[in-house]
Amino acid sequence: MSAILRKSLTIRGFIQTEFAADLMGEFLERATPWVHDGSLKHKEEEDIVDGSENAPEASLGMLDGKNFGKLLVRVS
């Protein structure tokens, strides 16, 4: 943080919805051919943990980046 202050940097958050309306048309125009030729793929993944007794450990793992996508806890 002190390096940011010493250099008088400006930090701005990025929220994609701010730009979606203006850039969606261009995105679709550019990305559609990539989807069709297979160079752009959607990675749909979820981690499923069985039992509520395993939920705390799974949640900690999620915070450490040990999963990709959704984390689900399956209970019976």
Query: What is the per-residue pLDDT across 62-72, written as a single tens digit (0 to 9) for each?
Result: 888 888 788 89
- Amino acid (1-letter code) at residue 66: K
CA–CA distance, 11 with 7 (Å, rounded to integer) = 12
What is the tally of structural domains in the chain?
1
Q: Please indicate, yes or no, if residue 10 is contained in any of the structural domains.
A: no
Q: Please indicate, yes or no, if residue 41 is contained in any of the structural domains.
A: yes
CA–CA distance, 67 with 47 (Å, rounded to integer) = 7
- Domain range for 36: 16-74
Q: Please indicate, yes or no, if residue 28 is contained in any of the structural domains.
A: yes
Model-level pTM greater than 0.75? Answer: no
DSSP symbol at 48: E
Q: Please indicate, yes or no, if residue 4 is contained in any of the structural domains.
A: no
CA–CA distance, 31 with 42 (Å, rounded to integer) = 12
- Reply yes or no on whether the pLDDT at 44 is more than 90: no
Q: What is the pLDDT of residue 36?
A: 95
Q: Please indicate, yes or no, if residue 57 is contained in any of the structural domains.
A: yes
- pLDDT band of 13, cuts 50, 70, 90: confident
Q: Please indicate, yes or no, if residue 36 is contained in any of the structural domains.
A: yes
Q: What is the pLDDT of residue 46?
A: 86
The 10 Å Cβ neighbour count of residue 49 is 19
